[in-house]
A and B are shown apart, each in its own frame.
Chain A
Amino acid sequence: MLVNTQGQSLFSDLPDGLPVISVEGVSKKFCRDLKRSLFYGVQDIASDLTGGRHNSDRLRDGEFWALQSIDFSLYRGQALGLIGTNGAGKSTLLRIISGLIKPDVGRIRVRGRIAPLIALGAGFNPILTGRENIYANMSILGLSTARIKERFQDVVEFAEIKEAIDAPVQTYSSGMAARLGFACAIYTEPDILLIDEVLAVGDARFKAKCYRRLYELRQKGVAFILVNHNAQSILNICDAALYLSGGALIAHGEVNSVVDQYENDIFLDGTERSNNSLTFPAKAPEKSTGAEIRALFFRDAQEQPTQTLITGEPATLCLTCESNDHYTGVTFNIRVVKVGGEESAGNVLALRGENDDAFFEISPGLSELQLRLPYLGLEPGTYAAQIRLRKDSMYMFDVVEAFRFTIATANSDMSKCRFYQPRDWAVVSSPHPSSIVN
């Protein structure tokens, strides 16, 4: 069982530390054939109406387990990431937890009010105004009119649609509608938030605001379950993760190790991860896109491969790529986010080779592309970098979703700041007369 020690100490008033959600051996079966699926639906209703379903733990013709024997608990203030490829059962699990559909085996106990961020703007009617829709939407999410009135102003402010509040929602831009949906959901003040890949709404600034709000809620003891394909955002927010594949629970535990395992599995077997470096096996020729990333690592000032990164020291990010043809205009992008920070939203660093006119020519075989940083400016901590190998800023050869690296120490005092400034102090004994202004 997983216990969040931080959450426990922060919220010592928990009754015996009961989890807010316990999932006990839950399985769910689905059927891909529509006609048959509908028929099974009718069959299930009929057998439930006659007192109970027998053999609900056995598969009928054409059925498969969409979820199988899932066990986990979620405590107050804990954030759990659900990762897995499409069709792994993540959304199904959220739907069972929120009580929309029944499990076929096992049971789920929920202690607390759930707000699903699965459904941004559920029940929005495009003809009605933003004001009317806030009332309808928040009612659906379970708030009384008095409560909605209390929070109305906060919602409008958070969604930043003050001028448009009395215009019909169909005149809103998609970003505005999404912001309004998010604001409605987040201001229902739930105990448990289920978030299903909805944080992709709005521009970067609004996204950062959403993350900040989620962070505040978590400080108040709200528990999260977050579904995302993107391992980076899971790493940012969650302290524990579940890895689902084909409906089965593959791994459950501390977020870094689970994400590691997930990435190992989806980016082919044989990926080797050691400290601050990553190597990938060669792809089968039919899967190749022309050129692919085979290794990521760092070199120090002496051009030697290194595992130690120090803030303020020179460092070179090296990308070994294998090409099966001669290409020109090859470049790469890097986006770096800090893992698990308070201000975790947004990139701390984003560099695009094409912006710097850094286009290279590569020949068949292995080449090493280098990004030389005269001073490593990031503060000590753990980071995740997304790296894309591209050609002519149009075509993408390969991508590494999360290359994680840790900067251990700094060569100067970074405890009071977050930015390393290369500098030089000096005194000049005889300044040029023209520099003195009277």
Chain B
Amino acid sequence: MPPEIVHTPDSLLRRPRYLLWSMWRDLLASRELAWRLMVRDISAQYRQALLGVMWAFIPPIAMALGFTLARDANVFTVGETDIPYPAYVMFNTALWQTFTDAATGPVQAIIQAKPMLARVNFPREAIVLAKLGEVGFNFAIKLILIVALFLYFRVPVGWSVILAPVALVHLILLGVLVGVLLAPIGVLYQDVSKSLNMVMGFWLFLTPVIYPVPTEGAFGVLVAWNPVTPLLTTLRELATTGVVSNPLGFWVVSGATLVGLLLTWISFRIAIPYVVERVTS
């Protein structure tokens, strides 16, 4: 006989032991389902697209092309970058896109799965995990572009590149934190998904993607306080020069991300039944 499950109105926070145990249990239980959903989503996504995986390459190339042309025409000036500018923009854009995917993915996935959420009680973590898998898959494709890019521009790569995946995971986790935090509210209010694109656009503007990290002025302060900055720069530095300019900032943001992600996960679990309640199938 399976264990007894009790549904009560009380907050799960009053049973922290059970809460953590059930989170662990559902995380394990959702692995296979997440894999299924990921395979389902990825194959559906590419089956109805002519260009298929090319869609992973097009945005960074377009961005790099546009900004390189604009810079060459002196429309704007940026400081010296430690690798050739087109490579700099393309690499950063690929990373930034991965971060954006990780942030907007959970919101979209949860909204899309609304009919399923309203009818079947499956581990909800699976949706987020499936999306994470998709983000990873898309990054793996972009990696091909990055490797080609590095070879073409003869970007020097040091041994520190083997540490780059750690920074990449932290960058993705920060994105997931944002996504999971917004997902429940995003199901209730459309404002979230509507404003998300705009917010991400503004956020991109505050992140050293098309320009090197500024050191002066109010803008410099804003960029410095942007949590994506240390993760993204560290990741790029590990992959190229091997000299990490701001290790403290990296570890502070990483630590905060991990703690924040756990808290966000808890609130996600608590919030979902209330969300489902308000979106009757």
A interface residues, Cβ below 8 angstroms from B? 15, 37-38, 40-42, 44-45, 48-49, 51-53, 56, 95-114, 116, 118-119, 122-123, 125, 127-128, 132, 135-136, 139-142, 144-145, 191
* A49-B2 in contact (CB<8A): no
Near A by CB (< 8 A), chain B positions 114-130 give 115-122
- Flag if B7 contacts A141 (CB, 8 Å): no
How many Å lie between the Cα of A122 and that of B126 in the bound state?
15
Query: Is B276 among interface residues, defined by CB-CB distance under 8 A?
Result: yes
Interface residue from B7, B11, B116, B278 paired with A122 (Cβ < 8 Å)? B116
Q: A128-B44, A139-B32 are in contact. Are A102 and B274 (CB under 8 A)?
A: yes
The 8 closest A-B pairs by CB, nearest first: A119-B119, A41-B278, A139-B36, A101-B277, A52-B11, A107-B8, A108-B7, A45-B271
- Whether the pair A52, B121 counts as a contact (CB closer than 8 A) is no
Chain A residues in 8 Å Cβ range of B162: none
B66 on the interface (CB 8 Å rule)? no
Instruction: Answer whether residue B218 sits at the interface, using C-beta atoms and an 8 A cutoff.
Output: no
Contacts of B185 in A (CB 8 A): 42
Residue B4 lies at the interface, judged by CB distance under 8 Å to chain A: yes
CB-based contact A41/B277 at 8 Å: yes
**Are A139 and B33 neighbours in the complex by a CB distance under 8 Å?**
yes
User: Given the known A-B contacts A45-B270, A136-B36, are A15 and B1 also in contact in the complex, defined by CB atoms under 8 Å?
Assistant: yes
Q: Is B17 an interface residue, CB under 8 A from the partner?
A: no
Residue B25, interface by CB 8 Å: no
Q: List 6 A-B contacts (CB under 8 A).
A: A41-B277, A100-B119, A100-B120, A110-B4, A116-B119, A141-B122
Question: In whole angstroms, how far apart are the Cα atoms of A132 and B281 in the complex?
Answer: 24
Assuming A37-B278, A100-B119, is B7 touching A128 (CB within 8 A)?
Answer: no
Q: Is the CB of A108 within 8 A of B9?
A: no
| Apart from A103-B8, A128-B43, A144-B32: 20 A-B pairs, beta carbons within 8 A | A40-B278, A41-B188, A98-B120, A98-B121, A99-B7, A100-B118, A100-B276, A102-B8, A107-B6, A107-B8, A109-B5, A110-B4, A113-B2, A116-B120, A119-B119, A123-B120, A127-B48, A132-B40, A136-B36, A136-B40
Please tell me if B189 contacts chain A, counting CB pairs below 8 Å.
yes
Contact indicator B120/A112 (Cβ below 8 Å): no
Asked whether B47 is an interface residue with its Cβ less than 8 Å from the other chain, the reply is yes
A38 and B278 contact, CB distance less than 8 A: yes
Type the 1/0 row for B89-130, where 1 means its CB is closer than 8 Å to any CB of A: 000000000000000000000000101111111100000000
Is A100 in contact with B273, judged by CB distance below 8 angstroms?
yes
Contact of A132 among B6, B8, B43 (CB under 8 A): B43
B residues contacting A by CB (< 8 A) are: 1-14, 29, 32-33, 36-37, 39-40, 43-44, 47-48, 113, 115-122, 184-185, 188-189, 267, 270-271, 273-278, 281
Complex-state Cα separation, A98 to B277, whole angstroms: 13
Q: A15-B1, A45-B271, A144-B32 are in contact. Are A102 and B6 (CB under 8 A)?
A: no
Assembly CA distance A128 to B271 (angstroms): 31
Give the distance in Å from the alpha carbon of A37 to the alpha carbon of B14 in the complex: 25
Q: How far is the CA of A390 from the CA of B276 in the complex (A)?
A: 43
Complex interface: chain B residues within 8 A of A52 (CB): 10-11, 13-14
Contact partners of B48 in chain A: CB under 8 A? 127
* Chain A positions within 8 Å of B271 at CB level: 45, 48-49
A residues within 8 A CB of B9?
53, 56, 102-107
Q: Which chain B residues lie closer than 8 Å to A42 at the CB level?
A: 185, 188
Neighbour of A110 across the interface among B5, B39, B119, CB < 8 A: B5
Q: Which residues of B contact A114 (CB under 8 A)?
A: 121
A110 cross-chain contacts in B, Cβ below 8 A: 4-7
A122 touches B119 (CB 8 A): yes
Instruction: Known A100-B276, A102-B277; judge A49-B7 contact (CB<8 A).
Output: no
Answer whether A112 and B32 are a contact pair too, CB < 8 Å, given A52-B10, A101-B277, A125-B44.
no
Report if A48-B33 is in contact (Cβ < 8 Å); known contacts: A41-B275, A119-B116, A136-B40. no
Q: How far is the CA of A140 from the CA of B5 in the complex (A)?
A: 19
Across-interface contacts of B7 in A (CB, < 8 A): 96-97, 99, 102-103, 107-108, 110
Residue of A15, A37, A100, A136 touching B121 (CB-CB under 8 A)? A100
Q: A192 to nearest B CB, angstroms? A: 11
Q: Which residues of A contact B275 (CB under 8 A)?
A: 41, 45
CB distance from B49 to the nearest CB of A (A): 11
- Candidates B1, B44, B47, B281; contact of A112 at CB < 8 Å: B1
| CB nearest to A76 among chain B residues | B1
